[in-house]
A and B are shown apart, each in its own frame.
Chain A
């Protein structure tokens, strides 16, 4: 019973290469950012295929690398990070106008990654920079507070991703974790887990497994899974799944060795399917089967055409 894949093409109108595209939490808004230093917003309806350009946000002075939508309970908030060393938080005001809510320019080099924390922890985000540091920016009583982690990754930090707030381990109702954590990947080939301790961020675990720069990290949502896991992708063409065991250790599991550098990894919202994209221009979806092996359930070749239900009449 394969489902049909529909493809919607959106001409973003950017004047240069796109570096990131993010749907908001409810799947109704799309934000794109580009080397042309701008961010463009669209209202989209994928069921009908409609798309309306909303606005473009100008404020960065260099290529914009990544975007992140905050949880809708905080209103329409979008964070962006750029080569210009800045992180800008944009907010939609009444009347639909988007404004710069806050600018953080405390980094000394390109800011490569930005990611909002789970909403249970309030309005908080982490950003990683080529200056080796990571900053956690929090909004506390309408004030923006910045906590820097210096020398998080020598040579630069490329990616950050937050742990889910609720753990499904041993509890179906999902108790909120008392300790806030996030994972980062950097040019030191390392994946690191950071935890908050006495209002400071300290290194919790160092995960060694890649032999080249770590390009992306993604902490899996815990909704459909029993144990925590992190996916990391690297210049070494590998994707590693780090599985958290009962005794707290993180055990690596190689997903696959790809043809080219793997740029991005992204979990579905339940945390049981991993999307991987690489320099070979291929996108593949991976799922752990009952046998315990990760298997590719879909790749670019299949998604290029509409899939039809297979005919099994002949036995």
Chain B
């Protein structure tokens, strides 16, 4: 029964090619409304090709930089194994990743690619927060220092605003004053009260002594606000200092020191954690996480990382910044991080960005640190992290392997998968690398040698030999076929080389052939013939004749070469040199049985014959003469 449906319309041909592309042919189908391209011709092909991320020079540089950080971390982890990499070291690597992310953002901004700049900005934003939760902070110590830094780095525009107002600071109009107060408020919200205090001195345009005093009092309060640092303070001492400071703020408030100054009163109430002031602050804040930062700073300064989620939910729900159901994916990731749900964070980041750069490198950091496996009360699926890490490395490494120049970076990632898990991909990928030059091929082979992929090395060398042969570069083809250890191919190439009979092969090639494993009879002939030519060049006729006779005796001279080889006999004519009887006999036999007179020409044939006869005759004469001398004696 025939397969009749082959001629049906509506069939898309598919081939998931070596570069990750899909070839689709859309056949004309006027009835189909679901046609990919209704106007297509049935004899047209559309080849879909994913342009590689690394084709963008900024991304390429970024990927190379991140691979260097990754490899250094692996080296460190391997040195310390079975111990894990210390928290401070992992944190420093995390900051390096953030550093190159910020560089990438700056590059895109400079190139006016705001879309890409935004993408990687957000990536760094989320990374930083995850770094706080999973790497930098201690679950048993206040999280505020890290959180404040994160907020301030991402939402501080004070320098930009102030730089625009620099020339007018001493004499600000009401509009600029409003902007300046906006800067001061923002700094207060972010807990940067010292910086805020430095701008307060500009906020007395009328030089009122009352205002001057109020500003001086507020500046003092702002500067005295205790700021927790994990290495400098114990929590207990900090809480004591904080309470004392709070009391002082309350005292000044109750003494109505800031009475009549709206802005300073507002700041004072914020610092006291006044709910009404917080409500008013919402208009001046862009996001719930900024608001959360303010809440922590002035209400819960010693909150631990584990309590962030509870505070965040309160902020989100009670103050209605966002309907949780309408949260953008990144906000969900932040909340998952607050839950220490590393697996959900990684999965959502992978889903959201559809590329494993973030997930791979972050999972690797957590994996190398390994500290959560030893902490109580934190359910961290640390075993899952390792598996996810390997999956993401495989994904990223495979993608890099498909790039023309980045594939060696891909190798570095793939070889970091435990139990040689990445080796099959490396093996598969290097076979598909298009080597444009011998240098490229040697690069591929050196990688294959490192992993012991002998089969692939032979295959690559063989392909190179075939390619060289196709290009007419026979000697190069011969070198590659020998490297491939391919006897039949080598024989074939040698036959081609010898077809014109000149054996015009570079001396250096012949020398290297001598050292190669002789994998073909033709090769033995060539190396032997190389020696013969050298001896002829040195006028070492005896040696040359001996070598030639050896080639004849061993039956190494290809049939089609016999005529051309025989022509060398004419150069053996030398009165001072006679050859051994057996040598002359061998050459004579060769001349008369292997050489075609019509090929060399009758005259030449006679000439060659006579050279041998003369040499034989002189040999006889010499031996007779020496016998005569003996008799005489």
Q: For chains A and B in complex, what number of residue pairs have CB atoms within 8 angstroms?
A: 267
Contacts A9-B46, A120-B455, A280-B34; A223 near B115 (Cβ below 8 A):
no
A264 near B14 with CB under 8 A, answer yes
- A155 an interface residue at 8 Å Cβ cutoff? yes
Partner of A172 from the list B50, B119, B421 (CB cut-off 8 Å) is B421
Task: Give the interface SS of chain B, mostly helix, strand, loop or mixed.
Answer: mixed
- B259 an interface residue at 8 Å Cβ cutoff? no
Stretch at the interface among B300-308, B424-432, B540-548, B549-557: B424-432
A309 near B116 with CB under 8 A, answer yes
Residue on B nearest A259 in the bound complex, by CB = B34
Stretch at the interface among A12-20, A53-61, A242-250: A12-20
A223 near B425 with CB under 8 A, answer yes
Partner of A21 from the list B6, B23, B353, B391 (CB cut-off 8 Å) is B23
Docked complex Cα distance between A260 and B398 (Å): 32
Interface string of A158-199 (1 = CB under 8 A from B): 100000001010011110000000000001000000000000
Please, how many residues of chain B have a CB less than 8 angstroms from a CB on the other chain?
A: 91
Residue on A nearest B357 in the bound complex, by CB = A1
Contacts A4-B50, A6-B51, A28-B434; A22 near B6 (Cβ below 8 A):
no
- B607 an interface residue at 8 Å Cβ cutoff? no
Instruction: Chain A residues near B455: list those with CB within 8 A.
Output: 120
Instruction: Chain B residues near A279: list those with CB within 8 A.
Output: 8, 10-11
- B469 an interface residue at 8 Å Cβ cutoff? yes
Partner of A27 from the list B46, B118, B432 (CB cut-off 8 Å) is B432
Q: How far is the CB of B359 from chain A (nearest CB, A)?
A: 10
B45 near A12 with CB under 8 A, answer yes
B423 near A283 with CB under 8 A, answer no
- B319 an interface residue at 8 Å Cβ cutoff? no
Interface string of B17-37 (1 = CB under 8 A from A): 111111111110100101111
B420 near A1 with CB under 8 A, answer no
Docked complex Cα distance between A120 and B29 (Å): 42
Partner of A46 from the list B21, B29, B429 (CB cut-off 8 Å) is B21
Partner of B7 from the list A35, A158, A268 (CB cut-off 8 Å) is A35
Docked complex Cα distance between A269 and B424 (Å): 11
Interface string of B381-396 (1 = CB under 8 A from A): 0000000100100100
- B182 an interface residue at 8 Å Cβ cutoff? no
Q: How far is the CB of A85 from chain B (nearest CB, A)?
A: 11
B466 near A315 with CB under 8 A, answer no
Contacts A187-B1, A266-B15, A277-B12; A5 near B43 (Cβ below 8 A):
no
Instruction: Chain B residues near A266: list those with CB within 8 A.
Output: 14-16, 22
CB interface residues, B 112-128, toward A, < 8 Å: 115-116, 118-119, 121-122, 125
A315 near B330 with CB under 8 A, answer yes
Docked complex Cα distance between A43 and B462 (Å): 21
Docked complex Cα distance between A177 and B111 (Å): 52
Instruction: Chain A residues near B49: list those with CB within 8 A.
Output: 5-8, 46
A-B contact pairs, 18 of them (CB 8 A): A3-B52, A6-B49, A6-B51, A7-B49, A16-B42, A17-B42, A18-B13, A75-B466, A83-B6, A223-B424, A267-B16, A270-B425, A275-B22, A282-B36, A290-B388, A310-B119, A311-B119, A315-B328
- Additional A-B contact list (6), CB under 8 Å, known A11-B43, A172-B422, A267-B16: A1-B119, A9-B44, A18-B45, A25-B431, A264-B12, A312-B122
Q: Which residues of A contact B (CB under 8 A)?
A: 1-23, 25-28, 30, 32, 34-35, 44, 46-47, 63, 65, 71-73, 75, 83, 92, 94, 96, 109-110, 112, 119-120, 130, 155-156, 158, 166, 168, 171-174, 187, 221-224, 235, 259-261, 263-270, 272-273, 275-283, 285, 289-291, 297, 300, 303-304, 308-315
